[in-house]
Amino acid sequence: MAHFINDRAALVAEAVDGLVTGSGGRLARLDGDPAIRVVLRADWPADRVAIVSGGGSGHEPAHAGFVGRGLLTAAICGDVFASPSVDAVLAGILAVTGPAGCLVIIKNYAGDRLNFGLAAERARALGLAVETVTVADDIAIPGAAQPRGIAGTLLVHKVAGHAAEAGRPLAEVAGAARAAAAEIKSLGIAVSGCTMPGGVADTRFAPGEAELGLGIHGEPGIERIALPEAAALARLMAARLAEAVPGDGPLALLVNNLGGTTALEMQVLTGAVLATPLGARVRLLLGPASAMTALDMHGASLSVLPLDAALGDALTAATEVPAWPRAVPVVAPTLRPLPERLARQGAATSPSHDPAVAQAITAVCTALIGAETALNALDARVGDGDTGTTFASAARAVLADLDRLPQAEPAALCRALSDRLARVAGGSSGVLMSIFFAATGAGLADGMRWPEALAHGAERLQAHGGARPGDRTLLDALVPALAALPDGGLAAAARAAEAGAAATARMTRAGTGRSSYLAATDLAGVEDPGAVAVAHVVRALASPGIGG
């Protein structure tokens, strides 16, 4: 896998430089030894307790991305997934510790415990007041002697940073951090490992497989499971966490993206977690956000912390740090009705039934649903891979409304189809289908017969869509089919549509859509998925016993 890097050996140092340079003067770094990579507050007056943490790189924005007022005073950055050296940690402590002392927050990994712990001891030997707190929030392995410190560590950063910013003494800052660390529980899930910069991707995952409790360095989880749908996954993870935080008291929840999960997936997972019994206890939500990642791992973690008033104040306190996932109260979603005029659209027509029309609509919709995978595969080569899903989703929506359609009234039927497709069909294809049926219905209402009205629909589609036959679109199948329809009937129309779709594979230029950005070599030999969809529709109408 390719990466945006210069030299793997200089990766972390260059990343630190990029972070500091882009901070608007808010951050600084220590200079003088390339092996010591410490990010610290540029405005730090050393007049209160310093909060120091860090660890291996690859978890960005943790830890250096959380340096700032109300959070960390300094972060020490090791190599990717490797603890920083004792000297680097000591340098960070010495750089920020004043008379008020320093709290060092350590994730419970052997390298971090040893290097940060020894650095703290050396700092004490130099006369500095230094306390440590170790976070072991991972519940993935029941009965583990040394539970790992994972994303819940960030909540400890916020609690400690808030206490320090308020000017509380070291003992109280450390006490607040230890109390929070003792209560935080976290659990992760992933469907892929991660790719080391300049290395190769982790390929140990089978398709459809997930690993529960996968570590933030890619270390194996406690069990492999068949990946369920998001709601079932949320129930599974929430149940495990509920065992670790029993009762019905209020919680804060951090939903953390492990690096490679899309925002859409994270939002779905967040909603699913909040819908569980554990989620009903959540009063403060942080995320979904990339907070403590594992490079490009496709996964997520959940961290919960039982809340009291003091912790709520700490988590909601403002911070200047851009990457911090702001805590927001969980409230029921606000739902508002559709605008009245939109809601009335289509309501004026009453359902009517015509067995032949119902059979034809069912045949078309069934054909589009059956072609979903094949059309998506075609579109993946020349577009964004969703043409099949767009047509199939529209087909499913029409089938669901079949008995409510005015089947016996052709013009009203086309208008109703136009209304429904405009609402449910995504992308440009949905709008084009809606325009086509609206114009066809208008033609029928003006007294045109079906072939003439359909041709009128195709004309309006071209006028609004901007494409013409030969532009490598669905028109290359639709226009020939409609031309063949008056004299040859549906069978001739089906043959013309299929020939038109096949011809698009020989077209080396697309006049519109995403295909228009592709080179001729990318288009060669690939049929336009919209044209193929039209061919499926006309072939379904031409099937024995259908149409007329």
Eight-state DSSP code of residue 354: -
Q: How far is CA 381 from CA 352, 522, 527, in A?
A: 42, 8, 10
Total residues found in the chain within this entry: 548
How far apart CA 271 and CA 127 sit, in angstroms, is: 50
Catalytic annotation, pick one of 63, 157, 162, 217:
217
Residue 284 contacts residue 246 (beta carbons within 8 Å): no
Strand residues in 34-179 grouped as ranges (E): 38-41, 50-57, 74-80, 102-107, 130-135
Q: Which residues have a Cβ under 8 Å from the Cβ of 360 and sit 6 or more positions away?
A: 541, 546, 547
Taking Cα atoms as reference points, which of 118, 150, 153, 119 lies closest to residue 133? 153
3-state DSSP assignment of residue 226: strand
**Cis ω for the linkage preceding 63 (within 30 of 0):** yes
Alpha helices by DSSP H, listed for 170-262, are 170-183, 230-244
Rounded Cα gap, residues 116 and 137, in angstroms: 18
Q: Which of 376, 494, 477, 385 is nearest to 436 (CA)?
A: 477
Active-site annotation holds for 298: no
First to last CA, the chain: 55
Structure tokens at 347: 């309501």
Distance between CA 16 and CA 31 in Å, rounded? 11
- Counting Cα atoms < 13 Å in the Cβ hemisphere of 365 gives 18
Q: Which residues have a catalytic role annotated?
A: 217
